[in-house]
Amino acid sequence: MAMTVYDPGFEADERVVALPERPRTLVGATVGIISNGKANTRPFFDHLERLLREEWGVAEVVRRTKSNYSAPAEAALIDEAATWAALFAGVGD
């Protein structure tokens, strides 16, 4: 009897990527929030958005939800996120 063994490891491009510098300030910036789509992210991100605007002077908060909570974000979403000064991502379990 044959047995198939699967590797549960992460399948991704393993190239080293240089991280961008952190912004010195968020005042006047556009910041993104990416949710995994589960219900528990909403109250947390509502509060985070309020803090970003009121405490850190963020000009715009862009909120997006992945189409599948168990998969990586779509390429178009990653491209959009590259235009934001900062990004917050969360899981609502």
Does residue 22 fall inside a structural domain?
no
d(CA 8, CA 4): 13
Domain encompassing residue 46: 32-73+85-90
**Structurally, how many domains does the chain consist of?**
1
Calculate the average pLDDT of the chain: 89
Does residue 6 fall inside a structural domain?
no
Does residue 36 fall inside a structural domain?
yes
CB 56 within 8 A of CB 70: no
Q: Which residue in the block uniquely carries the two structure tokens 């002077």? A: 57
Q: Name the residue with higher pLDDT: 49 or 68.
A: 49
Does the global pTM surpass 0.75?
Answer: yes
* pLDDT score of 20: 80
Does residue 12 fall inside a structural domain?
no
Structure tokens at 82: 């590259």
Q: What is the mean pLDDT of residues 31-60?
A: 94
